[in-house]
C-alpha cells in the first residue's frame, strides 16, 4: 500500500540561510540586492525543495513570494506627475534587516565553532567530560561543500531529466539504509564518484529523493567527504579520510 512520500529534514536551516548563501556565492552587497537574479535563483532552489517535499517548505514559499513582490514593485513604472513619490520600501528594508541579523548570528556561531575546535585540539576532552546525550543530527555540518551546493547540483541534474509522476509508476519504497549501503560501497570501490552519476539510472522522484538523502547521511554522519573543484561544477563524493582499502591477498598456489 502506497503512502505519501514526506521527508522531514531539519538540516535545511530555513529560507534566510538559503538567501544568505546566494548572497555569498554571488558576492553580492546585502544592502543593494539585485532582486531579479536573486529571486530567479531562489525559485530554482525552491523547486528542488518541493521535490524533496520538506516539512518546512512553506517558509521558503513565503520568502519567495516576498522576493517576487519586491521585484514586481521595482518593475512598475513610477508616476510622472509626482516624481518625488517613491515606491514603498518597508518590506525591502525589513528583509534586509532580517538578513543582516541572521548573518550576524551565523558568523558569530561559526566563530565560536572554530574557537571550540581549536580549543579541543589543544585541550582534549577527558573521558568523564564527554556528553551523556547524543548530538542533534540537525546540528551536524557538511564539510568542504555546503548543503546548498548539493541542492544546486541536484537542481542541475533535474534540469536534464523528465521526472516521472508517482501516480504513473509503481511507488518505490526502498529504505534509505539500502541506498546508503549501495552508495557507500560504490564510493569505497571507486574512491571518487561524481555526484550526478548517482542519478543517471532513474527518473523516478522517490528514487532521486532517496539517493539524495542517502548522500547527505553519508556526508553528515559517516565521515564521507564532498569537494567541488570548480564553482558551479561537478561535486565529487569520496570515502572518509581514515578509510583504507582492504589489502588484496595473493591467490594461493
pLDDT tens-digit map of 172-230: 678 899 999 999 999 999 999 999 999 998 888 888 989 999 999 999 889 999 999 98
Q: What is the pLDDT of residue 186?
A: 96
Higher pLDDT, 239 or 158: 239
DSSP bridge partners of 237: 193, 226
Mean residue pLDDT across the chain: 77
pLDDT tens-digit map of 80-137: 555 444 444 556 788 888 899 988 888 888 788 778 767 766 765 554 444 444 444 4
d(CA 18, CA 24): 10
Higher pLDDT, 244 or 108: 108
Percent of the chain predicted with pLDDT > 90: 23
Phi, psi of 237 (to 5 degrees): -100, 130
Q: What is the pLDDT of residue 138?
A: 42
Q: What is the pLDDT of residue 3?
A: 37
Which of 62-71, 228-237, 238-247 ranks highest by mean pLDDT?
Answer: 228-237
Which three cell numbers, joined as nine digits, stand for 178? 539500502
Over residues 25-41, mean pLDDT = 87
Over residues 26-46, mean pLDDT = 88
Each domain of the chain, given as residue ranges in start order, spans 1-77+89-129, 140-245
First-last CA distance in the chain: 54
| CB 213, CB 222: distance < 8 Å | no
Residue among 70, 32, 63 nearest 49 (CA): 63
d(CA 20, CA 99): 7
d(CA 194, CA 157): 12
Q: What's the whole-model pTM score?
A: 0.71
Q: What is the pLDDT of residue 211?
A: 93
Higher pLDDT, 114 or 235: 235
DSSP bridge partners of 236: 194, 227
Using left for φ > 0, alpha for ψ between -120 and 50, and beta otherwise, residue 53 falls in left
Degrees, nearest 5: CA angle 28-24-48: 110
Q: What is the pLDDT of residue 238?
A: 94
Q: What is the pLDDT of residue 76?
A: 65
pLDDT tens-digit map of 208-220: 989 999 999 999 8
d(CA 253, CA 251): 6
Residue among 228, 201, 198 nearest 215 (CA): 198
Amino acid at each position: 500500500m502506497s503512502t505519501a512520500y514526506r521527508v522531514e529534514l531539519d538540516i535545511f536551516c530555513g529560507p534566510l540561510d538559503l538567501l544568505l548563501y546566494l548572497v555569498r556565492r554571488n558576492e553580492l552587497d546585502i544592502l543593494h540586492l539585485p532582486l531579479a537574479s536573486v529571486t530567479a535563483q531562489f525559485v530554482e532552489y525552491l523547486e528542488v525543495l518541493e521535490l524533496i517535499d520538506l516539512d518546512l517548505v512553506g517558509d521558503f514559499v513565503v520568502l519567495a513570494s516576498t522576493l517576487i513582490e519586491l521585484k514586481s514593485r521595482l518593475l512598475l513604472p513610477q508616476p510622472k506627475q509626482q516624481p518625488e513619490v517613491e515606491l514603498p520600501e518597508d518590506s525591502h528594508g525589513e528583509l534586509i534587516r532580517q538578513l543582516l541579523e541572521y548573518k550576524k548570528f551565523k558568523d558569530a556561531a561559526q566563530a565560536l565553532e572554530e574557537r571550540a575546535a581549536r580549543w579541543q585540539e589543544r585541550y582534549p576532552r577527558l573521558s568523564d567530560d564527554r556528553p551523556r546525550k547524543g548530538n542533534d543530527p540537525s546540528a551536524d555540518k557538511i564539510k568542504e561543500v555546503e548543503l546548498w551546493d548539493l541542492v544546486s547540483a541536484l537542481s542541475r541534474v533535474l534540469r536534464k531529466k523528465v521526472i516521472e509522476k508517482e501516480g504513473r509508476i509503481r511507488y518505490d519504497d526502498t529504505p534509505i539504509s539500502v541506498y546508503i549501503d549501495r552508495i557507500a560501497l560504490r564510493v569505497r570501490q571507486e574512491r571518487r564518484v561524481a555526484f550526478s552519476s548517482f542519478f543517471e539510472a532513474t527518473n523516478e522522484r522517490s528514487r532521486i529523493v532517496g539517493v539524495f538523502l542517502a548522500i547527505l547521511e553519508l556526508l553528515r554522519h559517516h565521515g564521507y567527504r564532498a569537494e567541488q573543484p570548480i564553482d558551479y561544477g561537478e561535486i565529487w563524493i569520496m570515502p572518509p579520510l581514515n578509510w583504507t582499502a582492504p589489502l588484496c591477498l595473493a591467490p594461493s598456489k
